[in-house]
Amino acid sequence: MPPATVMEDPINHSQASSKTERLGAPPCVQPNLTSSWRQDVHFLSDKDGKVELRCPPKFNNISDTRTHLKQHLAAAFRVFARQSFDEGVAGHISVRDPGNPSLFWINPLSTHFSQIRVRDLVLVGEAGEVLSDGAQSPINGPAFAIHSAIHRARPDLNAACHAHSVYGKAFSCFGRPIEMLYQDALRF
């Protein structure tokens, strides 16, 4: 889902260094491909065999970075809703604040994933307090417990999600791990 569908506070892309970055997909790496490997990925490359790997845009200030992350977080909720990774108002997704990594943005309590907008996102402090920079809405207590523990334990991760998908709940009744036999198993 393109982030433009949930944009409420447009980002000033005038500071981006190239047209590609302004579009939100700058090339990250130009790998040095060997001829044998090039055959495996030829469908990903241009006519010269170059592969451009896409990554999130880089911004020159925290405010633009924060806006970008919040737009994508709101979009993620809508994607989860479309994929039926929700059950009523159960579930949550969080993203670490780029300006203060001990804080994170999360969905408000009792708002369906399909209805979450950028302005609905709540900024949460280390002790579970709702901070003034975000929406002044209550949050789910278990959501805070889960996400704060993940963000504290894994400083290398910037986002976490917890969903109540129909398929995941049904499979959990078997009490055994999911075998990753093919890519569709990742849907769980």
Residues 48 and 80 in one domain: no
Q: What is the pLDDT of residue 7?
A: 37
Residues 73 and 27 in one domain: no
> Of all helices (H) and strands (E), which one includes residue 166?
helix 166-172
Q: What is the pLDDT of residue 149?
A: 97
Residues 67 and 147 in one domain: yes
User: Does the pLDDT of residue 14 top 50, yes or no?
Assistant: no
Task: State the residue range of the domain holding 49.
Answer: 8-59
Long-range contacts of 163-171 (CB under 8 A, 24+ apart): 163/80, 163/85, 163/86, 163/91, 164/85, 164/86, 164/87, 164/90, 164/91, 165/83, 165/84, 165/85, 165/86, 165/87, 166/84, 166/87, 169/87
Comparing 145 with 10, which gets the higher pLDDT? 145
CATH number, domain with residue 138: 3.40.225.10
The structural domain count of the chain equals 2
pLDDT tens column, 17-62: 333 333 444 445 544 445 444 444 444 556 676 666 677 788 999 9
Residues 73 and 136 in one domain: yes
Q: What is the pLDDT of residue 171?
A: 83
Q: Is residue 146 part of a domain?
A: yes
User: Does the pLDDT of residue 129 top 80, yes or no?
Assistant: yes
Q: What is the pLDDT of residue 188?
A: 56
Q: What is the mean pLDDT of the chain?
A: 78
Q: Is residue 141 part of a domain?
A: yes
Residues 19 and 81 in one domain: no
Residues 70 and 109 in one domain: yes
Cβ atoms within 10 Å, residue 98? 18
Residues 39 and 86 in one domain: no
User: Does the pLDDT of residue 77 top 60, yes or no?
Assistant: yes
Q: Is residue 3 part of a domain?
A: no
Q: What is the pLDDT of residue 181?
A: 72
Residues 66 and 53 in one domain: no
Q: Is residue 182 part of a domain?
A: no
| Residue 72 and residue 161 in contact, taking contact as beta carbons nearer than 8 Å | no
Residues 31 and 99 in one domain: no
User: Does the pLDDT of residue 141 top 70, yes or no?
Assistant: yes
Which of 32-41, 67-76, 107-116 is predicted least confidently? 32-41
Q: Is residue 165 part of a domain?
A: yes
